[in-house]
Amino acid sequence: MASLKTKTKLYLEANSKIWDRDKVSLQDDGSGPYIKDWTYDGLDKPTAEQIASYETAGNTEETLNNVLTKRKKEYKDFGHQLDLLYHDMTAGKLDNSGEWHKHIKAVKDANSKG
C-alpha cells in the first residue's frame, strides 16, 4: 500500500504543484495517517477519495524508488567504477565485454524496474 506522502506528492504533481513541507504536513495519531495542514494557494486539500485514486500510481512510484535505491547501493562508489573503466580501457574492452559493463549489467539485471 502506497504511503500517504507518496500519494499526496502525486496529487500535487498532477495539479502542477510540488511538495513543500511548509505548505503540507501529515500526521498519524494511531488511527491512520492524514493531512493535518494544507496551505497551497489555488488548490483545495484533496479528499480521501482523491488521495485513494493515486494508490496504483503510488505503488508503482515506491517500487521504482526501492529499485533505484538498491541499485545505487550495489553500483559501488564512483572510484570503484572508474577503476573498472580504467582497466577496461587498458585492456581495450570498451564494449559489453568489459568488467564495468558486466558489473552495471549485473546490478540492473538483479534489480529490474519491472
Cβ(11)–Cβ(54) below 8 Å: yes
pLDDT score of 93: 96
Average pLDDT by stretches of 10, the chain with 114 residues: 97 98 96 96 97 98 96 94 96 95 95 88
pLDDT score of 41: 96
12 and 31 share a domain? yes
54 and 11 share a domain? yes
pLDDT score of 82: 96
Q: Is 71 exposed, middle or buried (0-12, 13-18, 19+ CB in 10 A)?
A: middle
44 and 67 share a domain? yes
Would the CA dihedral through 93, 96, 99, 101 be positive or negative? Answer: positive
| C-alpha span between 34 and 87 (Å, rounded) | 53
8 and 60 share a domain? yes
What's the domain range around 23?
1-74
pLDDT score of 114: 74
pLDDT score of 60: 97
Please report, for the domain that includes residue 14, its CATH number. Answer: 3.30.56
Can you tell me which residue has the cell 568488467? 99
**Domains identified in the chain, total number:** 2
